[in-house]
Structure formats: structure tokens, C-alpha cells
């Protein structure tokens, strides 16, 4: 009988669960909204989601070798405790791994969500076969995970890999973390939308402004990163300049990571990565322009491959912890 693993990705708005085999093949997956009314409701939601994925896969939860849970940090991976997640309705110091293990009848392991996704991509996705790599998720925020010498790198405090909060411009725009000029405040989806709002306010009357008013039903302040990429594809100002600026900042952050870590591969996931080479191509060019040539000779910057990197990565966390690996 094949060994099966469960993986759960706990996000601020949704829970995604998978059941997969030891080669990372997804046998079943399930999604539902995240209940944040109480700790009990959250645990019930996590267990119910994984049970539903198990039912589709034709397995019982207690038949799983183990279950990994990826959650937004800060958390304590060793003790399975969620410390003070910013997007989960004020829940804090919440034990997750132990109660979930009791509810499911299988060992459970907690990991930071971006670290889990990094392990997923560097085990079964676009990073497989590589021992030194960086995973970056470009989304409403920017997250990341470091796989160095074949292992997840957590640092002395366990918080390594918070690439989105590298400070690139100390007097720059305010970040969600309270600091200024973090990479996330300059290059995330929210940062792109903020720049777009400012640019649209200045846009004079004319066909471009008409295009935006039609697309956004008259509410220019509702612009999102997705609208900016649509404008860029249609050649409507200020779409192209905004995407150029965005790609430039993505490249600056990557150049810093290259100088520091000299990775073999940078894997880029998250919603913004769906813009593909239009974003990644320019970001790569900028990063190569700024980093030492000697550090980039063998470097590849590629899009993520996994359908559900967070949930599959969580299953990889369970596989590795059961083998005694970090
Ligand atoms: Zn920050």
C-alpha cells in the first residue's frame, strides 16, 4: 500500500487541503473559507477540510503517515504553536499541531506557510534537483523561503526567509509591518495598486481615462494589480510604466538575494507571477544587471510549477519531519 500524506494550507481567507503520495502526486484537494470566529471553529474547519480531501482520495485520515499544516507566521514550528498571525481575526498563542493530531488520528506538523511552499517547490516543483534556492511568493504581500544546502533555513531565531521585509528604501512607503520601504511596500500587489491609484488620480481626461473608468465602473480608487496588467497588455497608459516600475523593484530585491545567497534557482510563485514573462522577464533582466556576473552564471529565475504549493509543501513538511529532517 502506498504511503499517503496530508497537507493543509491555512490562509487568512481560505483553507486548502490535499492528500498526496510520497512522489508529490495530488490524489485529492479541497478548499473552503477560513472560519475565524474562534479557535475551536478554526480547528474544526482545518480538520473538516482534510477529512473531505481524504474522502475524495478514498482514505481515512488515520491512514495518513502524517499531516503538515502551513500557516502564516510568526509561529513556533517546534511546538506547533501559532503566535500572533496578523490575518486571523486576533487569534493568538494558539496550539494547532497537537489538537489537530488528536482530531485526525495522525501526527501533525506546523510550518510557516512560505517555508512550506518553498519545500514543496524545491522537492516536487520548479526547484527540484537544486540544493540552493530561494522561493518568493509575489502576491498582495511578498513572502519567501530559503532552501540552503538541501535544507530549509530557519536561522537562529526561526524567522529567516522574511524576504518581503528586507528594507530597500528606509524613507520609502509604509509597510503593513509598520516599517518603511520594505520590499513588500515597494513591489507587492498592494504596492502596485497603490501606485496605480496615485497615477490614475493624475490621469488627464482622454481615451485612456475613459478606458480606466469603463474597466473600473467609474471607481478609479478600486484599481488592483490585475487591472494594471490588463492595461499593460492593452497598451493603455499608465499600465506599461507601472509594470516597468513593478518589475524593476522585483529585480532589485532579487539582486540583493543573489548577492547574499548566490542561489542556483529562484522560484517565483503567487498571484503576480501569473503575469509570466511580462513581469518575470523584466525583473530577471534588472536582477542580472545589478548582481555580480559571477554570482549569476548558473542562476535560473523561473515561475513556480505546483498547482497548490502551500498545501503540497505542507505535506512535504510532514514527510521530512517524519524522517527526522528539519
Ligand atoms: Zn515590512
- The C-alpha cell of 198 is what? 496615485
HEC per residue, 126-172 = CCCCCCCEEEEEECCCEEEEEEECCEECCCCCCCCCCHHHCECCCCC
Q: How far is the CA of 9 from the centre of ligand 1 (A)?
A: 22
pLDDT at 36 over 80: yes
Distances (CA, A) of 320 to 59, 147, 273: 21, 13, 27
Residue 206, burial from CB neighbour count under 10 angstroms (0-12, 13-18, 19+): exposed
- Going by pLDDT thresholds of 50, 70 and 90, the confidence category of residue 139 is very high
At which residue does the C-alpha cell 513581469 appear? 279
* Residue 52 pLDDT greater than 70, yes or no: yes
Cell of 78: 517546534
pLDDT at position 60 over 90: yes
Q: What is the pLDDT of residues 195-217, one digit of tens each?
A: 999 999 999 999 999 999 999 99
pLDDT, mean of residues 301-321: 96
Please, how many CA atoms are within 13 Å of residue 287, restricted to the half-sphere of its CB?
A: 29
| pLDDT tens sequence across 247-270 | 999 999 999 999 999 999 999 999
CB of 304 closer than 8 Å to CB of 268? yes
Instruction: Give the model confidence (pLDDT) of 262-298 as tens digits.
Output: 999 999 999 999 999 999 999 999 999 999 999 999 9
* Distance from residue 162's CA to the centre of ligand 1 (Å): 9
DSSP state of 93: S
- Give the strand order in the sheet containing 265-269: 151-152, 142-148, 133-138, 265-269, 300-303
Q: Which pLDDT belongs to residue 85?
A: 67
Rounded distance between C-alpha atoms, residue 324 and residue 140, angstroms? 34
At residue 320's C-alpha, the angle toward residues 316 and 321, to 5°, is 115
Share of the chain above pLDDT 70, in %: 98
Whose cell is 478600486? That residue is 222
CA–centroid distance, residue 73 to ligand 1 (Å): 13
**Residue 149 vs residue 92, higher pLDDT:** 149
Q: How far is the CA of 139 from the centre of ligand 1 (A)?
A: 14
- Residues of each domain in the chain carrying CATH 3.30.420.40: 4-119+308-322, 129-304
For the beta sheet containing 4-10, the strands, ordered from the edge strand earlier in sequence to the opposite edge, are 26-33, 14-21, 4-10, 66-71, 108-112
Neighbours of ion ligand 1 (CB under 5 A): 165, 175, 177, 179, 182
Question: What average pLDDT does the chain have?
Answer: 94
Residue 136, pLDDT score: 97
Angle at 320 between CA 138 and CA 84, to 5 degrees: 50
pLDDT confidence tier of residue 87, bands split at 50, 70 and 90: low
Enumerate residues 6+ apart whose C-beta is below 8 A from 106: 6, 61, 62, 63, 64, 65, 66, 67
Q: DSSP letter for 112, please.
A: E
Res 79: pLDDT:
87
CATH number among 3.90.650.10, 3.90.1150.10, 3.30.420.40, 3.40.50.1100, domain 4-119+308-322: 3.30.420.40
Span from the CA of 197 to the centroid of ligand 1 (angstroms)? 21
* Segment 115-124 mean pLDDT: 97
Question: What is d(CA 311, CA 54) in angstroms, rounded to the nearest whole number?
Answer: 14
Ligand 1 centroid from CA 198, angstroms:
21
Separation of CA 120 and ligand 1 centre (Å): 25
Bond prior to 238 in cis (omega within 30° of 0) = yes
| Start-end of H helices in the chain | 39-57, 97-104, 113-124, 183-187, 189-202, 207-215, 225-234, 239-261, 277-290, 293-296, 309-322
Grouping H, G, I as helix, E, B as strand and the rest as coil, residue 108 is strand
Query: Looking at residues 299-310, what average pLDDT do you find?
Result: 96
129-304 CATH: 3.30.420.40
* C-alpha cell of residue 54: 481524504
Amino acid at each position: 500500500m502506498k504511503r499517503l500524506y496530508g497537507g493543509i494550507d491555512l490562509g487568512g481567507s481560505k483553507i486548502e487541503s490535499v492528500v498526496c503520495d510520497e512522489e508529490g502526486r495530488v490524489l485529492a484537494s479541497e478548499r473552503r473559507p477560513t472560519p475565524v470566529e474562534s479557535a475551536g471553529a478554526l480547528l474544526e474547519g482545518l480538520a473538516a477540510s482534510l477529512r473531505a480531501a481524504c474522502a475524495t482520495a478514498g482514505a481515512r485520515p488515520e491512514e495518513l503517515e502524517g499531516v503538515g499544516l502551513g500557516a502564516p507566521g510568526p509561529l513556533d514550528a517546534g511546538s506547533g504553536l501559532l503566535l500572533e498571525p496578523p490575518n486571523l481575526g486576533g487569534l493568538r498563542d494558539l496550539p494547532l499541531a497537537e489538537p489537530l493530531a488528536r482530531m485526525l488520528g495522525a501526527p501533525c506538523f506546523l510550518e510557516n506557510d512560505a517555508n512550506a511552499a518553498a519545500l514543496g517547490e524545491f522537492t516536487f516543483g520548479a526547484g527540484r534537483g537544486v540544493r540552493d534556492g530561494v522561493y518568493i511568493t509575489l502576491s498582495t504581500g511578498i513572502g519567501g523561503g530559503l532552501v540552503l544546502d538541501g535544507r530549509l533555513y530557519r536561522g537562529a531565531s526561526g524567522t529567516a526567509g522574511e524576504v518581503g521585509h528586507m528594507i530597500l528604501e528606509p524613507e520609502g512607503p509604509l509597510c503593513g509591518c509598520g516599517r518603511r520601504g520594505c520590499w513588500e511596500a515597494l513591489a507587492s500587489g498592494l504596492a502596485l495598486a497603490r501606485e496605480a491609484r496615485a497615477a490614475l488620480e493624475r490621469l488627464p481626461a482622454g481615451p485612456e481615462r475613459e478606458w480606466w473608468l469603463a474597466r473600473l465602473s467609474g471607481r478609479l480608487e478600486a484599481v488592483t494589480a490585475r487591472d494594471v496588467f490588463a492595461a499593460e497588455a492593452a497598451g493603455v497608459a499608465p499600465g506599461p510604466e507601472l509594470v516597468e516600475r513593478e518589475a524593476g523593484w522585483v529585480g532589485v530585491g532579487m539582486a540583493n538575494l543573489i548577492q547574499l545567497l548566490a542561489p542556483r534557482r529562484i522560484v517565483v510563485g503567487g498571484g503576480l507571477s501569473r503575469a509570466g514573462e511580462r513581469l518575470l522577464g523584466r525583473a530577471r533582466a534588472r536582477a542580472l544587471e545589478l548582481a555580480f556576473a559571477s554570482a549569476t552564471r548558473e542562476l535560473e529565475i523561473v515561475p513556480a510549477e505546483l498547482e497548490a504549493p502551500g498545501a503540497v509543501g505542507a505535506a512535504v513538511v510532514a514527510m521530512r519531519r517524519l524522517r527526522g529532517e528539519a
